[in-house]
Chain A
Amino acid sequence: MEVNVIIIPVRCFTCGSLIGDKWEDFAMRIKQGEDAGNVLDSLGMKRYCCRRMLLSHVEIIDEILKFYEETKKRETP
């Protein structure tokens, strides 16, 4: 089953705990090369349902926005 999530969900699909405010922090720290498990621990995410929400997420909206940004650039000379 493919789930179309183009932006980080506000809550965990399974338990309903808030995850929408943790994504940016998580993504930034992963980019800096930190260990994903340690980052999740430090964000206080204990259950594997919430952990997979961040671990498996792809922020597709960033890719979509590139098209709009490019269009904007070409409009203005």
Chain B
Amino acid sequence: MVEIEVVDKTDNTIRLFIRGVDVSFVNTLRRLILTEIPSMAVDDVVILENSSVLNDEILVHRLGLTPLTTDLDSYNLPEECPCQSEFGCNLCRVALALNVEAVEGTRTVYSGDLVSENPDVKPVSDRICIVKLVQDQKVKLEAYARLGKGKVHAKWQPVSMCAYKFFPQIKIDGKLCDACEDCVKVCPKAVFVKVGDKIEVRNVTDCTLCEDCMDACAKDPSAVELTWDKNAFIFDIESTGALPVERLVRESLNILDKKLKSFLKNLKKVK
């Protein structure tokens, strides 16, 4: 039985405990989140005027890397869109306009100056510096955002961190341990605490499985026994803001489902 527990959740991060699955399954989820979940990013830019000190390519690169909030349900991937047009249609493309001139002295152009045709698709933050302009310099352009996948370009990756580790299991042998505190001193994550004349394990989820505590223990065999549960994982996801984190987990499972179904379909053809 698969058990999933949400341990910690903020706007852009989530920490899950996943129990009862093996490492290949969790790794599949990780790889799907990194490479297969579509998100919005600027892909084509028409530059009408650019008198800033940054050249067009750098400006466009910065626009491309700007994370955009994604409305997954209303848009199609360009390759799956019925329009099949190279330029795109309303179902697979969003236009964002940028028209800024420094009228009074030097000014910074922020991502908030981008005007999107769809208010649901806009930069995650309004305060991203795009370029700085001296008086009379001007940037005027139209950017086209499309859905894309992380395997094509990292700008379409909806996460800035997506990683898992085995669930640590630390046991201290009370008979062997003389509370010398060597493990307390050596642990980089402060997993051990001395309480009275005993060493206790706290924050077991912070453990990085480095095994320094076992090496530091003077006893032979070591009084600290560090192992890990091969079927339980601590899964961390940090979204760029393009999609909500819960949606990322759900979407990765949908994609896995789709992939398995098409695999099964093709397998039947072989028979």
Interface residues, chain A, with chain B CB atoms under 8 Å away: 6-12, 15-18, 20-21, 23-24, 47, 61-62, 64-65, 68-69, 72
Contact = CB atoms under 8 A, between A and B. Distances in A.
Given A10-B65, A11-B65, A18-B160, 4 more contacts: A16-B160, A20-B62, A21-B129, A61-B54
Interface string B95-122: 0000000000010100100000000000
Of the listed residues B125, B127, B154, B241, the one surrounded by the most CB atoms of chain A closer than 10 A to its CB is B127
Contacts of A12: 160
B253 to A, nearest CB: 23
Given A12-B160, A16-B157, A18-B125, A68 B53 contact: yes
Contacts of A20: 62, 66, 111, 125, 128-129
18 contacts: A6-B53, A7-B129, A8-B129, A11-B65, A11-B160, A15-B161, A17-B160, A17-B238, A20-B66, A21-B125, A21-B129, A61-B132, A64-B53, A65-B106, A65-B132, A65-B134, A68-B137, A69-B106
A47 B124 CA distance: 20
B135 interface: yes
A14 to B, nearest CB: 10
B209 interface: no
Contact of B132 (A7, A11, A21, A47): A7
Interface residues of B, number: 28
A10 B130 CA distance: 8
Nearest to B61: A10
A20 B126 CA distance: 10
A10 B62 contact: yes
A6 B124 contact: no
Contacts of B65: 9-11
Contacts of A17: 160-161, 238, 240
A21 B66 CA distance: 10
A64 B53 CA distance: 8
B124 A16 contact: no
